[in-house]
């Protein structure tokens, strides 16, 4: 008996995907667990396994096809000895997928055609009902007001257009088709050097755009900034790395992750997310860390940071970052999290404000450490200062809670030995 291979939901937020590459071809024999395709989701490109033993009887979706809905058939798996003709769903499934986009495009065209034809029919009915109606001379041009206005705007002679409406009346669609046909007949000389490049947006890029727009329009952001002296932190980091014998290398970012977790334990009201009817307060500190990858960014999660030491955090972060850049993260490694960190300090960015990663309540933006003059005991001295900015969703976190979190964070950063206790 044939089995439909369906577009899988590879993450909780996935609604559709792009079939990037087939790893099998029609007629190939597969067993359960074999890799059969690569799917580009809203987060990463992931490999899909065969769900059963059998033979790939029919591939319904071509490589590169976009916007394939979750649970839509993408291939037919036949049992041993079964012929494709015995399958009842393959033709219908393929036709459904092929016509889905076409139907959406045709809806708009048909609506416009109906509007124009109704307008033209109403005008003719009105004229024919008049007692003094007389046949109109053949050299007169019949045209709807909308089509006439568009033709005038585009400087088109109405006599050049053949109407498709009643009595040869020119409709809007006739003007549109004339413009398209005229454009196709023109020979456009391309410039010797193009000054731009058109790049098609990936599924990840579109998802990032949708989530950021949703975050900025739905979550009332407010921002709190604070300067931290990281001289002592840099000394502790150097000392720890000297003792590592090259077995590990702790980064400033690793210590920022640990300090954030420690501050969240001190201020649990900042470790929260918005859920419309409820606010969720997390017991564990699962820190999402922004990682730049080809085509966008992703936020792998270091879970239970409160129970991890700096070495574990460092190793965990490096492994997740490498998997993210290779597009090999599993959904459970990037979906969820209770708090986010975005660090652009390595690029020399002094300070910035990050967009909240919904439904989380906060994200910490970390700038670079730089030498600045500061006043200590009424004397000016030079210290390495790092500016951090906390973006808060005011539905979840109030100003006092955000300020308390930053105060605790600053204390752990400037007294790093407290993180090691």
How far apart (Å, rounded) are the C-alpha atoms in residues 252 and 261? 14
Catalytic residue annotation: 394
How far apart (Å, rounded) are the C-alpha atoms in residues 402 and 361? 10
Beta strand pairing call for 301-302 and 278-281: unpaired
How far apart (Å, rounded) are the C-alpha atoms in residues 38 and 74? 12
CB 352 within 8 A of CB 366: no
CA neighbours within 13 Å on the CB side: how many for 43? 25
Cβ-based neighbour number of residue 378 at 10 Å: 5
How far apart (Å, rounded) are the C-alpha atoms in residues 148 and 159? 11
The two structure tokens encoding residue 124: 């003719």
Nearest to 22 by CA among 7, 35, 9: 35
How far apart (Å, rounded) are the C-alpha atoms in residues 208 and 43? 9
How far apart (Å, rounded) are the C-alpha atoms in residues 332 and 303? 10
How far apart (Å, rounded) are the C-alpha atoms in residues 420 and 371? 26
């Amino acid at each position: 008996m044939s089995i439909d291979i369906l577009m899988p939901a590879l993450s909780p937020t996935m609604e559709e995907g792009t079939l990037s590459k087939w790893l099998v071809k029609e007629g190939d024999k597969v067993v359960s667990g074999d890799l059969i395709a690569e799917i580009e989701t809203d987060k990463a490109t992931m490999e899909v396994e065969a769900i059963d033993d059998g033979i790939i009887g029919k591939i319904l979706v071509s490589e590169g096809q976009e916007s394939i809905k979750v649970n839509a058939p993408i291939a037919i798996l036949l049992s041993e000895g079964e012929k494709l003709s015995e399958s009842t769903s393959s033709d219908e499934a393929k036709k459904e997928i092929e016509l889905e986009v076409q139907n959406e495009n045709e809806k708009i065209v048909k609506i416009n055609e109906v509007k124009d034809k109704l307008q033209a029919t109403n005008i003719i009915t009105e004229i024919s009902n008049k007692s003094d109606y007389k046949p109109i001379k053949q050299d007169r041009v019949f045209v709807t007001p909308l089509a006439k206005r568009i033709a005038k705007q585009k400087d088109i002679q109405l006599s050049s257009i053949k109407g498709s409406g009643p009595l040869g009346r020119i409709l809007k669609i006739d003007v549109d088709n004339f413009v398209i046909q005229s454009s196709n007949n023109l020979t456009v000389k391309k410039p010797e050097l193009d000054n731009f490049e058109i790049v098609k947006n990936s599924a990840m890029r579109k998802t990032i755009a949708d989530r950021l727009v949703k975050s900025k329009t739905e979550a009332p952001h407010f921002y709190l900034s604070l300067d931290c002296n990281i001289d002592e932190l840099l000394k502790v980091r150097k000392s720890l790395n000297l003792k590592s014998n090259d077995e590990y290398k702790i980064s400033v970012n690793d210590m920022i992750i640990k300090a954030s977790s420690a501050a969240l334990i001190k201020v649990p009201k900042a470790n929260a997310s918005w859920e419309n009817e409820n606010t969720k307060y997390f017991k564990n500190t699962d820190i999402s860390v922004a990682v730049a990858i080809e085509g966008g960014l992703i936020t792998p999660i270091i879970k239970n940071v409160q129970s991890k030491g700096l070495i574990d955090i460092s190793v965990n972060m490096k492994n997740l970052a490498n998997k993210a850049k290779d597009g090999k993260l599993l959904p459970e490694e990037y979906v969820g999290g209770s708090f986010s960190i975005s660090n652009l300090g390595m690029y020399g960015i002094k300070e910035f404000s990050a967009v909240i990663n919904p439904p989380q309540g906060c994200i910490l933006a970390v700038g670079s450490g730089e030498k600045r003059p500061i006043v200590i005991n009424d004397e000016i001295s030079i210290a390495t200062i790092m500016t951090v900015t906390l973006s808060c969703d005011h539905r979840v976190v109030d100003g006092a809670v955000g300020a308390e979190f930053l105060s605790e964070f600053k204390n752990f950063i400037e007294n790093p030995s407290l993180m090691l206790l």
